């Protein structure tokens, strides 16, 4: 007879029905393939008598199997569940009523403590029914109130918001080691990006802003947060001085850090930042990229022993496991990062990789029956929709943003068309027509527990606003501009609850209240000189510029409507508001025009 193991169920109606019929509380474990302490809680640390496996303990497993309904969820595959039930980290260990309301919870629980917790929860569940019901109703009410930020009548977007956020970032800044807040210390790349954007806007005169970015990026690139053997960043530091990281490596983090480091290298003239980004790109292509499928895998596992080895010693051991799951949102973010990297590093192959990735993701992830992209597919072909995961906001928005970025750099119409194909789902299934903004998941009358109440995630809504603002700048669609503004206004008071972590919202507001530099590039898209002008059009600002490719063979009416001649191409016109500079016909000439535009 084998050892007793926890009999994990999948999140779904069957598991909750079992809990209701047998009147058992639910033990929900939110885990991750990259999570070291999740593995410790499952299996323990070999040779360590203190950290034995909680769930591999036969007595604990028997208690759980007998008196609870255990459910296991992967946080990357179910971000909607994680957003509602996470207890402050991974693993999350949360006890629920059979209806899915929270009784209590924690993160890592060692075996000795787990025995006591299981018995205490069981006793509380059996003897405090009326109190549990009242508390569940109160939690549901608070959750409902917190989930629906709405645009206030008369509210406006102004410089007050990004300036306030810069103040919050400065208050959280660590002047000794860089970074923001105390340990554990996370990268917060958007906070650095907001500081950089304001530094450039102010004419690069406020050295206080530059120093916050410089010290923070040096800390993350030169301390324990960076893998100095294989390249790339670990997820976060457990210490204030960046010396001891959590060793998992995430595709999402690299998609946000690589463009930041490259832009900072340009603005602050720091070659070390460029080197860190290039080595991180090499790591991503070597470890997380599948050249056959042209997709990026989700993450690489944490392994403290492996990452303590030298280069020679590492070569003698198999590397930590890679989660061979393709996440639509993270692939889209990495595609955007590659497009930006291609501009700054002037490497066509990075752009080509991004375009192939966007094509590959669209091919497997777009579901014509819903008009939306599914969240993930793993190497075995298992898809999110087959597991009951609805199309989520983050996947649609991040792909749509990357698609518009690809269109602006190539003039390839399929990317614009894909972004437009995602709009109906966004606006019919996820938008809040009354309060503004977007919910993370569609309405579902059969949703379980906390999923019954939809949420408006700040970061994804900020990304949505940026998508709609870019769409307006490219097409002149006033409805798109209105949606963007109402999305941002929905958080006009709410953002302060996030403190400096609301930096993505500050960047989106900055984008909304700033007149962008628009570059109209006119010429056949396959023409070499046209492509060179498109590359040069991003010089100096890969984030807040709008580049409008116009092919004279197809876009003649639009070119004439803008007042540009139909001959003499390829040519690029730099415009701010209604003022356009004379045409540039060579990349160097275009770069000079961009300098003249005041950016």
Task: Give DSSP secondary structure letters for 19-66.
Answer: HHHHT--EEEEEE-TT-HHHHHHHHB-TT-SSSB-STT-HHHHHHHHH
Number of neighbours of residue 403 by Cβ within 10 angstroms: 26
Q: What is the pLDDT of residue 48?
A: 79
The DSSP-derived string for 225-288 is TB-TTT-SB-SEESSTTS-SEE--EEHHHHHHHHHHHHHHHHHHT-HHHHHHHHHHHHHIIIII
- Burial label for 345, CB within 10 Å (0-12, 13-18, 19+), is middle
Q: What is the pLDDT of residue 3?
A: 67
CB 513 within 8 A of CB 158: yes
> What gap in Å lies between CA 381 and CA 364, rounded to an integer?
10
Helix (H) / strand (E) element for 337: namely: helix 328-345
What tens digit of pLDDT does each residue of 244-259 get?
999 999 999 999 999 9
Assigned token pair, 228: 């100095």
Say yes or no: do domains 13-146 and 177-323 share a fold: no
Contacts of 50 (CB under 8 A, 6+ apart): 110
- Burial label for 561, CB within 10 Å (0-12, 13-18, 19+), is exposed
Assigned token pair, 581: 């500079």
The DSSP-derived string for 490-530 is TTTTGGGGGGGGGHHHHHHHHHHHS--EEEEEES-TT-HHH
- The length of the chain in residues reads 599
> What gap in Å lies between CA 468 and CA 595, rounded to an integer?
27
Ramachandran angles phi, psi of 91, nearest 5° = -70, 150
Is the preceding omega at residue 9 within 30 degrees of 0, hence cis?
no
Assigned token pair, 136: 């569940």
> Which residues does residue 44 pair with via DSSP β-bridges, in sequence order?
52
Sorted by where each begins, the domain ranges of the chain are 13-146, 177-323, 520-596
Intra-chain end-to-end CA distance of the chain, in Å = 72
The DSSP-derived string for 385-438 is GGGTPPPPHHHHHHHHHHHHHHHHHH--HHHHHHHHHHHHHIIIIIB-TTT-SB
| Residue whose C-alpha is closest to residue 503's, from 88, 167, 79, 259 | 167
Assigned token pair, 299: 């993450």
Number of neighbours of residue 273 by Cβ within 10 angstroms: 24
| Sites in the chain below the pLDDT cut of 50 | 1, 599
Q: What is the pLDDT of residue 147?
A: 65
Q: What is the pLDDT of residue 139?
A: 78
| Residue whose C-alpha is closest to residue 483's, from 443, 543, 423, 442 | 423
Q: Which DSSP letter does residue 452 get? A: G
Q: Is residue 348 helix, strand or coil?
A: helix
Q: What is the pLDDT of residue 2?
A: 53
Q: What is the pTM of this model?
A: 0.97
- Burial label for 323, CB within 10 Å (0-12, 13-18, 19+), is buried
* Residue 133 backbone zone (phi > 0: left; psi -120 to 50: alpha; other: beta): alpha
> What gap in Å lies between CA 558 and CA 369, rounded to an integer?
33
Domain spanning 177-323: CATH 1.10.3260.10 = no
Assigned token pair, 542: 């890969």
What tens digit of pLDDT does each residue of 208-217 get?
999 999 999 9
Q: Which DSSP letter does residue 28 get? A: E
Q: What is the pLDDT of residue 49?
A: 78
Helix (H) / strand (E) element for 372: namely: strand 372-373
* Overall CATH class of domain 13-146: alpha beta
């Amino acid at each position: 007879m084998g050892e007793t193991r926890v009999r994990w169920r999948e999140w779904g109606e069957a598991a909750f029905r079992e809990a209701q019929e047998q009147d058992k509380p639910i033990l929900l474990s939110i885990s991750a393939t990259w999570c070291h302490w999740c593995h410790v809680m499952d299996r323990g640390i070999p040779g360590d008598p203190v950290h034995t496996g909680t769930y591999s303990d036969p007595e604990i497993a028997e208690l759980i199997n007998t008196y609870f309904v255990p459910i296991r969820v992967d946080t990357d595959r179910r971000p909607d569940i994680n957003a509602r039930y996470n207890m402050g980290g991974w693993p999350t260990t949360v006890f629920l009523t059979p209806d899915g309301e929270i009784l209590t919870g924690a993160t890592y629980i060692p075996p000795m403590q787990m025995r006591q917790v299981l018995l205490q929860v069981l006793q509380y569940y059996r003897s405090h029914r009326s109190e549990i019901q009242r508390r569940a109703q109160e939690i549901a009410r608070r959750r409902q109130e917190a989930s629906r930020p709405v645009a206030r009548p008369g509210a406006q977007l102004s410089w007050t918001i990004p300036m306030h956020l810069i103040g919050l970032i400065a208050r959280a800044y660590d002047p000794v080691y860089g970074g923001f807040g105390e340990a554990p210390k996370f990268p917060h790349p958007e906070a650095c990006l907001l500081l950089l954007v304001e530094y450039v806007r102010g004419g690069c005169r406020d050295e206080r802003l530059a120093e916050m970015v410089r010290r923070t990026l040096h800390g993350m690139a030169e301390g324990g947060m960076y893998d100095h053997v294989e390249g790339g960043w670990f997820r976060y530091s457990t210490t204030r001085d960046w010396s001891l990281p959590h060793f998992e490596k995430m595709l999402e983090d690299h998609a946000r850090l690589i463009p930041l480091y490259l832009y900072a290298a340009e603005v602050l003239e720091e070659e070390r930042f460029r080197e860190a980004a290039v080595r991180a790109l090499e790591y991503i292509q070597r470890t997380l990229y599948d050249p056959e499928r042209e997709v990026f895998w989700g993450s690489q596992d944490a392994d403290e022993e492996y990452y303590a080895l030298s280069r020679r010693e590492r070569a003698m051991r198999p590397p930590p496991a890679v989660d061979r799951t393709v996440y639509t949102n993270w692939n889209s973010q990495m595609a955007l990062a590659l497009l930006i990297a291609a501009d700054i590093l002037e490497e066509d192959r990075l752009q080509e990789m991004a375009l192939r990735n966007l094509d590959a993701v669209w091919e497997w992830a777009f579901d014509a029956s819903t008009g939306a992209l599914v969240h993930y597919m793993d190497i075995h072909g298992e898809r999110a929709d087959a597991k009951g995961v609805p199309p989520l906001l983050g996947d649609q928005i991040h792909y749509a943003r990357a698609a518009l970025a690809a269109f602006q750099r190539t003039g390839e119409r399929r990317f614009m068309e894909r972004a437009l194909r995602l709009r109906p789902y966004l606006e019919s299934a996820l938008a809040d027509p009354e309060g503004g903004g977007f919910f993370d998941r569609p309405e579902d009358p059969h949703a379980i527990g906390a999923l019954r109440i939809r949420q408006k995630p700040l970061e994804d809504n900020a990304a949505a606003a940026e998508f709609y603002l870019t769409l307006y700048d490219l097409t002149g669609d006033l409805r798109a501009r209105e949606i963007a503004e109402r999305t941002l206004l929905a958080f006009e008071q709410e953002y302060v609850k996030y403190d400096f972590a609301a930096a993505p919202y500050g960047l989106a507001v900055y984008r909304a209240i700033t007149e962008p530099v628009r570059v109209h590039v006119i010429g056949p898209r396959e023409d070499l000189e046209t492509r060179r002008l498109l590359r040069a059009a991003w010089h100096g600002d890969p984030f807040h510029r709008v580049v409008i490719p116009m092919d004279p063979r197809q876009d003649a009416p639009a070119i004439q409507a803008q007042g540009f001649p139909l001959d003499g191409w390829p040519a690029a016109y730099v415009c701010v508001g209604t003022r356009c500079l004379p045409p540039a016909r060579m990349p160097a000439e275009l770069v000079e025009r961009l300098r003249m535009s005041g950016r």
